[in-house]
Amino acid sequence: MKRTGAQILWETLLREGVEVVFGYPGGANLPIYDAMPNYPIRHILARHEQGATHMADGYARASGRVGVVLVTSGPGATNTVTGIATAMMDSSPIVVITGQVPSKLIGYDAFQEVDMTGITLPITKHNYLVTDVNELGRVLREAFYIASSGRPGPVLIDIAKDAQQAATEWEPDTQPIILQGYRPEKRVNEDEIIRVSEMIHAAKRPVILAGAGILRSNAVEELRQLAEIAQIPVGVTLMGIGSFPANHDLHLGYMGMHGEAWVNKAIQQSDLILALGMRFSDRVTGNIKNFAKNAQKIHIDIDNTELNKNVKVDLALNGDLKNTLKRILPYLKRMDHSSWLEEIDEIARDSRRRDIQNKNNVNELLAAHVIYDLWKYTQGESLICTDVGQHQMWTAQYYKFNKPYRFITSGGLGTMGFGLPAAIGAKVARPNDEVWVIAGDGGFQMTQAELATLRQENIKMNIAVINNGYLGMVRQWQEFFYEKRYAGTPIISPDFVKIAEAHGHQGIRVTQRSEVESAIQRARTESGTILLDFRVRPEDSVYPMVPSGANLDEMIRRPEEEIIS
């Protein structure tokens, strides 16, 4: 079959099961767009290439499939960099396809030429520059395999324009992909499996730390069985939220810099840490030197480079979590850690009073009220996509996720502007789910142009803007550590209600607690996108907070005068 490079691309995407791509056309990828109408793949036109990349990322996280981005060269390609780095930090499988100037012009500073493989080398699992049409089919198949296997992540393919236009005899390749030196499927040996069970049986005060690897590996059920058999409480990282039901008796809660105080204290007092699919990031450990000093540590992860990288452990297992936990379970005997659980409950009683704002009405509308009420009126069933900042932390604390794959956020890179476009991708992946964006007034303005994408694609979305008139998280740091010198953090926003209406959506302003329920219910029941502008207390802070460099249990707690009884 004689095929152009553009045709090979679309036919290969079809064979990889691609149903939708997110993109933006330009001169260097016009041959691809010219061929697109002949193939049954939905194209969603973003308003910015960063938005397109976040959409593909949200699609991947919500569907478990590879998200696809299609953009042109030069600024179109470089606009994807933040989205690629976001996907890399959070292990999200996307394939970014960028157009490039004709091969004979590469290296001569042609119009809209940029070295995308050089730029993205540190933030991709792998990348390619394709100048020969005969390589394109193979490269595409390899890209999907690399993005989705092992520890997932982004792959970039930069395709010269002449390789898109050239024609060649082409037959689809159906042979298994084998890449020299790439062995994503790793198997833990039996001695290590036995050693894990022995360490669990010897522990008196064990804690499981569940990260995003549980979700990526689809090991939710295996984690539940492990926790119940050995009666081990489970703390979750930000990216691990949803990996263990929030309503389960063994669920400790969210841990780390803004995690629950009792979770952090339990970790510090434990004698065994079982870390599953998490990175031991600085936001989780606090001062590494004093992190759970009296605990033995087991770390299981599919990525060998994460083992003993940040925290030195007593036993490191390199393998797929689902497979590894399945093999551990038969070796476990039922255990009783009731005294340890009672001790944690005692810690939690005081902590809940200190750190959680009471849900009763007060004179002002608090962000915690909004998140709590959103959880209450959606029964915790919605798919939530957050932006980055205080609202993200409040969501982690106040919205209780009992099911997996319902919380999508930028954890590793902390990308402001992520929430709205990621939610578009998630809604495309799961059109029957109720999807909410929770964003701050600062981050929302970074990608609010994607409101037009919602309108053009007729996508129903519910948007909650937590509007406090500040870049809230930065302002909080300035309050705590810079003597309230609010340099650069007060922010004037447009009228979000009018912004929504200008894009053909509805907008509702909420200023009192008594208005929250009706606004949420209206957003849930009416057709079309509705944006809720919640005017919350300007100078409110997220508690607890572990200062940078402090020990995990050395938290700034809510002042007594702010405790609402």
Active site residues: 49, 111-112, 161, 473
What 334-339 contacts at long range (C-beta under 8 Å, 24+ apart), as own/partner pairs, is 334/229, 334/230, 334/231, 335/200, 335/201, 335/229, 335/230, 335/231, 335/232, 336/231, 337/204, 337/205, 337/206, 337/230, 337/231, 337/232, 337/233, 338/231
> Rounded to 10 degrees, what is the CA torsion of 275, 327, 196, 407?
10
Bridge partners, residue 298, by sequence: 274, 315
The rounded distance, in Å, linking the Cα atoms of 395 and 120 is 32
> Which residue from 363, 366, 360, 372 is spatially nearest to 539, judged by alpha carbons?
366
Question: What one-character DSSP code corresponds to residue 177?
Answer: P
Tell me if residue 485 falls in helix, strand or coil. Answer: coil
Q: In the numeric block, which tokens belong to residue 76?
A: 């179109």
**Phi, psi values for residue 493, rounded to 5°:** -110, 155
Residues 263 and 237: beta-carbon distance below 8 Å = no
**What b/e sequence results for 172-209 when a residue is b if at least 16 CB atoms lie within 10 Å of its CB, and e otherwise?**
eeeeeeeeeeeebebebeeebbebbbebbeebebbbbb
> Which residue from 254, 287, 209, 236 is spatially nearest to 553, judged by alpha carbons?
287
Residues 536 and 464: beta-carbon distance below 8 Å = no
* Burial group, residue 345, by CB count within 10 angstroms (0-12, 13-18, 19+): exposed
> Which residue from 165, 164, 162, 160 is spatially nearest to 73, judged by alpha carbons?
160
Residues 521 and 382: beta-carbon distance below 8 Å = no
Which residues, other chains included, contact 115 with Cβ-Cβ below 8 Å and sequence gap of 6+?
A: none
